[in-house]
Structure 1
Amino acid sequence: MRIEIKINQDIKSMKKDVWDLVGPFEKIATWFEGIKKTEIEISDNGNTVRHLTFDNDAIISDELIKKDDFSYTYKIIKGDLPFENYIATIGIKSNDESVSLYCNISIDVSQDNKDESVKFLEDIYENAFKNVQLIFESNSN
């Protein structure tokens, strides 16, 4: 079954500053904890591919498929995960006094793995976004 997962975090900072941190596809390890190594290559079709090695030595490969001024979309092309056909968009939107950092994810998952997969993805992105929030809160003091 195809499911959608949406994660949001408001951050009190300037849109450009937040995007300078989370926007570079190849620099995810600066705000997404648990990544010990990032390798970048260009695929045969000219897209950027990042190979992420996590602290537990798991490796996931992502391919950037679209990039705009304040969002990018990528898909997982390799990794041992309980779901398939992962596509996510990470971006930011301006609010009155802050920005909203978001991640919209689509996956194919079996009913047996649905709850576990949703919780896993929500937890890792909520933690990553809280880390971004903490980075900006500590910089404003």
Structure 2
Amino acid sequence: MNRLGAVAIAAGLVMAASPAFALDVASSVKTDAKPAAVWQTIGSFCDISKWHPAVEKCVESDANGAKRRTLTLAGGGGTLVEEQVSRDDAKMTYTYKIVEGPLPVENYQSTISVTPAGDGSDISWTGTFDAKGASDDDAKKVIRGIYESGLQSIAAKASGK
């Protein structure tokens, strides 16, 4: 076998052994509410229960100095444990990861943020993850649905609708 053939086979083996690239989902919504009002609506890490329709209850806890929230999902959907990775109130953004839960994802990390947009705001929610127990498309569909329903609720509550 020539040298080029050996390199091609080695490259193929490395690619076959490499993990798949993470999936990305991004959703956003514009609202006429001012950024400060939107950020106040989003609130603290556990205030998600006040604005996300899929969350019935949130209990905050501490895990080795990291802020965690345990979400009870609506309709008997189980519980989800998430950990805050970072938060910057001045920049109106926070990032968190899923520690455990029933969603068809693993290695999940997500950021929600608010930025000025004309006379109102743009609210964005982005995440990266790997599918777990579902196809890539199905996992992305679940996460996109979570983001879109949450963003619509934040926008409505922040603008008083």
TM-score normalized by structure 1? 0.91
Structure 2 unaligned segments of length 5 or more: list them.
Answer: 1-19
2:5 is the alignment partner of 1:5: no
Cα drift, residue 134 of structure 1: 2.0
2:68 is the alignment partner of 1:49: yes
What is the DSSP-based 3-state SS (H/G/I as helix, E as strand, rest coil) of the residue aligned with 1:134? helix
What is the DSSP-based 3-state SS (H/G/I as helix, E as strand, rest coil) of the residue aligned with 2:52? coil
Q: Is the 8 A contact 1:62 1:77 kept in 2?
A: yes
Q: Residue in 2 aligned with 1:60? A: 80
**CA distances 1:55-93 after superposition (whole Å, capped 9, x unpaired):** 224100000010012000000001122221110000111
Q: Residue in 1 aligned with 2:129? A: 107
**Which one has a bigger Cα radius of gyration?**
2
Report the identity percentage. Answer: 24
Q: Is the 8 A contact 1:84 1:109 kept in 2?
A: yes
Q: Residue in 2 aligned with 1:37? A: 57
Distance change in 2, residues 1:57/1:80 (3 Å): closer
Q: Residue in 2 aligned with 1:17? A: 37
The one-letter amino acid paired with 1:50 is R
Alignment length (residue pairs) = 138
TM-score normalized by structure 2? 0.80
Q: Which runs of 4+ in 1 moved over 6 A?
A: none
Structure 1 unaligned segments of length 5 or more: list them.
Answer: none
Q: Is the 8 A contact 2:112 2:125 kept in 1?
A: yes
